[in-house]
Amino acid sequence: MTPALGIDLARGQVLDALRGSGRFLLVTHEHPDGDALGSLIGLHGVLTALGKDAAMFLAADELPLPSEYRFLALGPTVSEPPADLAERVIVFLDCGNVDRTPSGEARRDGALVLNIDHHHDNTLFGDVDLVVPEASCTAEIVWELMGELGVAPTPEVAEALYVGLVTDTGKFMYENTTPRAHAMAADLIAAGVDVHAVYRHLYEGIPAAKLRLLGRALERMDRYDDGGLTIVVIDGSDFDAAGATEEHTEGIVDHLRAVEGTRVAALARERCEPGGEGRMKVSLRSADGLVDVSAIARAAGGGGHRQAAGFTTEMSADELVAFLREQIDAQS
């Protein structure tokens, strides 16, 4: 079967399940970003408009959401799998890998699992896998499903899907910014999105602690191999000094990617949450588009997109630098 037919088949099966079932549990990946939340809230709104019972799962420690996403119309969520889980269709959104969701235990015999995602390295863990790597964001797939289900977006749904689109395309600047991504934007703006208000919520009103952390991080920048690897490692002392937490690291790696000569940008930060001690979370970005950073992340047990990927590791900072230099070299 050609991949295109496979996707059409999966899309048909997803639409049948969304139309035919009454109860759902919607889940997304840990430390949800704009696309995770946007696709979650968007699909929740679509199913609600169809008169369905769709519970959104978010682990208790994910709340409150990072400040930039708090304006979203999240609504009630559950942090434990519901008692009737076995009768619910479970929909995973933006989850390349079932281990990346705190709701992994939500999988139980009897419930149909729909896996809706755009990561090219998705592990295809669903009963139905609607994995569309050409989609700019998971929210784009939800937007298309919404159209096929004949649901018109409320302003809240349009805003949520737009947040997924804006964040995953880097404000319409990354390679995944297709004509379709812009068509989706046009449709959502027509449905009531206040573009500038969303921009302000997402990118302005930055907590001072976040900027202080950025300042410390930039001071820690190291460059190897003529700058080909540009890396920052931050630890608990940086978080303490800035009064910052892990959510404040978002976006730092993008500054590193922008430095001239960089091929791969890396941000490694010590995990602060209980149980995370001694482990580092690493974010990778491909700056020149030639190095596939998802392959590097996979070699370390993580994954992601060719241009943006990540993993968690017990390597020391020195081991991490050696590992990344080797991996970049191996792809050259």
Q: Which residues contact ligand 5GP (rule: CB under 6 A)?
A: 96-97, 100, 119, 283, 302-305, 308-312
Nearer to Mn ion, 130 or 137 (CB): 137
Site membership for Mn ion, residue 117 (CB under 5 A)? no
Nearer to ligand 5GP, 201 or 305 (CB): 305
Site membership for Mn ion, residue 121 (CB under 5 A)? no
Site membership for Mn ion, residue 35 (CB under 5 A)? yes
302 binds, options ligand 5GP, Mn ion, none, Cβ within 5 to 8 A by partner type: ligand 5GP
Q: Tell me how far, at minimum, the Cβ of 294 lies from ligand 5GP, in Å.
A: 7
Q: Tell me how far, at minimum, the Cβ of 300 lies from ligand 5GP, in Å.
A: 9
- Any residues with CB less than 8 A from the CB of 274 and at least 6 apart, and which? none
Q: Which stretch binds Mn ion (CB under 5 A): 93-101, 152-160, 264-272, 308-316?
A: 93-101
Nearer to ligand 5GP, 13 or 312 (CB): 312
Q: Tell me how far, at minimum, the Cβ of 307 lies from Mn ion, in Å.
A: 12
Site membership for Mn ion, residue 159 (CB under 5 A)? no
Task: Return d(Cα 44, Cα 39) in angstroms, integer.
Answer: 8
Site membership for Mn ion, residue 270 (CB under 5 A)? no
Nearer to Mn ion, 68 or 94 (CB): 94
Q: Which residues bind Mn ion (CB under 5 A)?
A: 35, 94, 137-138, 168
